[in-house]
Amino acid sequence: MAKKMILVIEDEHDIQELVKYNLVKEGYPVNLADTGEQGIKLARSESPGLILLDLMLPGIDGLEVCKALKGDTKTAHIPIVMLTAKGEEADIVAGLEIGADDYITKPFSPRVLIARIRALLRREAKESVDDDAPISVHGLDINPGRHEVVVNGDAVELTFTQFRILLLLARRPGWVFTRDQIVNWSRGEDTIVTDRAVDVQIVGLRKKLGDWGKHIETVRGVGYRLQEET
């Protein structure tokens, strides 16, 4: 099966060429944009399978590009991986909150970048799976329809919010979710409403899951993710 085209929106020529070289070597068609304006036009006209988006762009910056693409029904479905410099923690959080799907910090290993792209495209291919389909990860089984969680054969009783948080993380192992994203997803009968409340819910969830709870990782300054299976 032909691999999907990847759009690289990056103004630094050296990084453009490095990324393009490694993507082409892996069989991915590549299109390049030097500015945010050009990137938006190409995304709308070419419908890439994934976008690598630098946050520090001349003119329209990466956050505005992400917001524009995720707010357009023609491009909202396209996965976006942000390329960020170290120390841009606030921008990472902002990008994830407006719809970016993942991020990688510069300088980065081309092998790591390719691995992240592959994982993201695999996950996107599974998005059509029934929301009530059972999930199995790291020896834990979730049955969304029955609201059941089993760890190594033992049933675990979770609150509504704890179950929703676990389900969110388990559906996309490796993805980082901000606290705001978790709050928005977890609204229910015992709704959590603050960042601090999310941290408390995670502590309680880890405690109930016992040793398995170590698979829920804290990403400092951003949020939480479930470890990917290797």
Residue 161's CATH number = 1.10.10.10
> Which tens digit of pLDDT belongs to each residue from 169-197?
998 898 888 888 887 776 654 455 566 78
43 and 121 together in one domain: yes
179-203 burial: b if 16+ Cβ within 10 Å, else e: bebbbeebeeeeebeeeebbbebbe
Q: What is the pLDDT of residue 181?
A: 82
What pTM was computed for the model? 0.61
Q: Locate tokens 């977890």: which residue?
A: 186
Question: For 62-97, what is each residue's pLDDT tens digit?
Answer: 999 999 998 887 888 888 999 988 666 788 888 887
pLDDT digits (tens, 9 = 90+) for 15-34: 999 999 999 999 999 999 99
Identify the three-state secondary structure at position 213: helix
User: Of 95, 125, 155, which marks where a domain is finished?
Assistant: 125
| Strand-strand pairing, 102-106 and 80-85 | parallel
Confidence grade of residue 107 (pLDDT, cut at 50, 70, 90): confident
Kindly state whether residues 95 and 160 are assigned to the same domain.
Answer: no
Instruction: Give the pLDDT score at 124.
Output: 67
User: Average pLDDT over the chain, rounded to whole?
Assistant: 86
R_g (Cα) of the chain, nearest Å: 19
CATH of the domain at 64: 3.40.50.2300
Domain of 110 in residue numbering reads as 6-125
For residue 1, the model assigns a pLDDT of: 54
Sign of CA dihedral 38, 39, 41, 47: positive
* The most confident of 123-132, 180-189, 217-226, by mean pLDDT: 217-226
